[in-house]
Chains A and B, each alone.
Chain A
Amino acid sequence: MNEKNFQEKIEKEQKIEPKDWMPDGYRNHLIRQMSQHAHSEVIGMQPEGNWITRAPSLRAKMILLAKVQDEAGHGLYLYSACETLGISREELVQQLHDEKAKYSSIFNYPTLTWADMGAIGWLVDGAAIVNQVSLQRTSYGPYSRAMIKICKEESFHQRQGYEIMAEMAKGTAEQKAMAQDALNRFWWPSIMMFGPQDSESPRSGNAMKWKIKRQTNDELRQNFIDKTVGQAEVIGLTIPDPDLKWNEERGHYDFGEMDWDEFWNVVNGNGPCNQQRLDHHKKAHEDGAWVRKAAREYAKKNTIN
């Protein structure tokens, strides 16, 4: 009975709210997906945080610091949304540290030059937007609302990243080479952000039925590629895919084969920075333990106004 009501609600495009009955599978799927999303926002602070102290102008410094700060805010917001499902932030962070919860593999790639700040904003935030716009229609109310709120800022990030790339592409020969190199390194990992091909993705079935996911990985990936190709052309950079070609019949770009061995390798912990990212997060957490403890003790004794 419960299950039937639940599915009817979903069919009618009504949002599921925290107090509503929901199947365990639905709850668990959401916890996994939303916490992975939250962890991604937070771990994603590192590759860009890596360049804040080296940003080349006062303006660039402020934009990048504000951007990374936004990502922290997204993490916070998503942890709160996830907590509505009956799990605490502490537990979620513990799962991350125990490597039971994942985060987006894209953040396991190193940021080697300033152009990577452009590439990440343009491509990584760009891909995130495609995914998150789709998730605005997700069936779980708190998640949907989080996506609506977050997407506005992500669009901002995407434009700022693109601006860095555009500026460098029309700069000195060295700058243009740096921009092209960043595009070369981040292109394939970015389009792999949408996950395995639909034929390989084991959990899509229920997620689509429950309308947690509204579009398949391949649909989202195609959408991202279609809107990004023209942006690269405008600034005179070349997407590193010789098979990329407009297909009149499909009304979409055809593109080359992704390196799925690499994809699974990074997902399974063997990317260039997996260990580093996790260690960094753990260290910050451990270094802060005495501070959090002192704050708790103080709060027990007093109140600060």
Chain B
Amino acid sequence: MGILSFFRSSSKSSASVAKERLQIVVAHQRRENQRPDYFLSLQRDLLEVVRRYVTVSDDAVKVEVDHQGDCDILELNIVLPDR
């Protein structure tokens, strides 16, 4: 750690660290709250389907729900293994 970054990190108050951490965790929590009840089983089933074709890790299938006006958009992100 350089001198400058030492000063910078020590001048940041513990309350502002708390606030930043909270903002992140709360944003995450709110996304989770908006997920429909079938969310986890959908994610599990999708992983199962992908695995019929390729070997992927447990976190290879990412599902997010995005709210836009009146409709909810399901966003799928599937990471395939290196070729």
Are A and B physically bound partners? no
Chain B residues with a Cβ under 8 A of chain A: none
Chain A contacts to B: CB under 8 angstroms? none
